[in-house]
Amino acid sequence: MRINKELIKAASFNPTKKSTQMSIFDMCQKIENKSISLPLYQRDLSWTLKKCIDLLNYQLIGKAPVSPISMNTILNTEECVPQVSFVDREVMPEVVHSQMSVVDGQQRLTTNYKAYINHDDLRNVALDLGKGCFIEVSGAIRNTQIPVGILLNKEDRVLFEYTSKIGPLKNPEVTNVLLQVRSKIKNYNYTINSAEDLTEDEQIEWFEVLNNAGSRVSIVQMRFSKLKAHGIDIYKQYTNLFKERLIEAGYGDFFTPQKTSVSYPIAALNPAFEMLTSRIHSVNCAPMSSDTKENQLCNLDPNTLTKCFSMTLEALDVVLDFINDNELKVPTRIDYINYLLGFFIFNGNEISDDDKDFLIKWYDEVNFTNQSNSVRRDIFTNLISKKMP
C-alpha cells in the first residue's frame, strides 16, 4: 500500500508547538520599531470606534483571553511578501530576518497601538471611573474620566503628568486603581500562533480558515492594497474621500455593513474606467457592486488609475450638488448616486436644461427595489442613453 509522502510529513509536524505569548506593550513596541509589520495585501482598517472600545473593555473586564494573533515569521527576506507599517501603511524599504508579519489580528493590534501612541482616532475614548469601563465621550472629558491615550500611553510620565493636574485623580485610591488598570493592560498577554516563510497564498488560506472557514476578506480590498507598491493608496486617494463626501451630505448609512465602504466606491469607478480606456459601454459594467472591475482597474497604469479616481470624485460632487440644488428626495439606495454619477461622466458635468429635466424625472420614477442585476444593468444603460427606465 502506498502512503502519500505529504501525509507522512504533515503527521510528523505539529504547528501548535510554535505558539508563544507576548504582552500588549511588547507588541506595540515592536510595531513602533517596525519589527512587527503587515503584508502588503492586507486590507485597510475596518473596525468602528465601538468595536475598538469593545476590545479595550474585554481586555479590561473579560473573563476569557482574547483570541490568538497569527503571524508569519519571515526568514527568507529575498522572496517574502512586501511589508507595510501599521496605521500609515507605508511600504517598508527593508525587511529584516525574523520579522513578524501579521496574518490575522491587524484590527486588534492597531487598536492597542493607537492607545499606546495616543492616536487622534481614539481621542473620544476614555476610562470612566464611575461606570468602570471604557466609553465614547461626547463633549469634554470629565474629571472622572481619563483618555485611553493617556492611561495606556507608552510613557509612564504621561499618566502621572495628567493626574497631577486634576484634583480628583490625585486621590491615592484613584491613582492606585489607574495604575492597576494600566499594569493589567500593559502586561496583558496575547497568544501568538506562528508560522515561517508562508507564501502569500498560504497566508490568505490561513486567514480564511481563521475567519469562519471560508468567509474571506474582500478580494477587492486585497488586490487594491497591492497597489501601494506602485505609490497608490486607494484608501487615502479615493475610497475614504468618496465615503467622506457622502457622510458630509448625510448619506453615511450607505456604508453599513463595513464591506460597502469599498464595494460601492469601487463600483462607481466603472464609468470612468470605460471612458478613460475608450471602451464602448458594456452591459455588465454598471456602477453596482456585482460589476466591480478590480482586475482591470489594477492593471491600469498608475496615472490612468488616479485619473479614474479624480474623474469619479468630481462627478460625485456634481451629483450631490444636483440632488441638493433641485431639492430631490433623499436617496434610499447608493444606486441613485452611482447611476447619476455615471450619467455625468458619460455626458459631461455641464448639462442642458432638457437633460436636467430628464434626470429629475428619471430620479423621481426609477425603481431599484427587488430588481434583478440584469434589470439594474438595463436601467443604467438606458440612463446614459437618456432613455427613461
For the segment 88-108, the average pLDDT, to the nearest whole number, is 90
Higher pLDDT, 18 or 34: 34
pLDDT at 278: 82
* C-beta of residue 206 within 8 angstroms of C-beta of residue 42: no
Distance CA 285, CA 224 (A): 18
Residue-wise pLDDT tens digits, 248-284: 988 877 766 555 677 889 999 999 999 999 878 888 8
For the segment 168-180, the average pLDDT, to the nearest whole number, is 91
Lowest pLDDT segment from 66-70, 129-133, 226-230: 226-230
CA-based end-to-end distance of the chain:
67
Distance CA 253, CA 356 (A): 27
**DSSP of 230-287:** GT--HIIIIIHHHHHHHHHTT-GGGG-STTHHHHHHHHTTHHHHHHHTTPPPPTT--S
* C-beta of residue 166 within 8 angstroms of C-beta of residue 7: no
Lowest pLDDT segment from 137-141, 156-160, 219-223, 250-254: 219-223
**Would you say the C-alpha torsion 90, 96, 97, 99 has a positive or negative sign?**
negative
Distance CA 211, CA 358 (A): 47
Residue-wise pLDDT tens digits, 316-352: 999 999 999 999 999 989 999 999 999 999 998 888 9
For the segment 304-320, the average pLDDT, to the nearest whole number, is 95
Question: What φ, ψ does residue 80 adopt, rounded to 5°?
Answer: -85, 165
Which DSSP state fits 120?
G
pTM for this predicted structure: 0.67
Residue-wise pLDDT tens digits, 29-82: 999 999 999 988 777 777 889 999 999 999 999 999 998 999 999 999 888 888
User: CA geometry: angle at 57 spanning 109 and 31, to 5°?
Assistant: 15
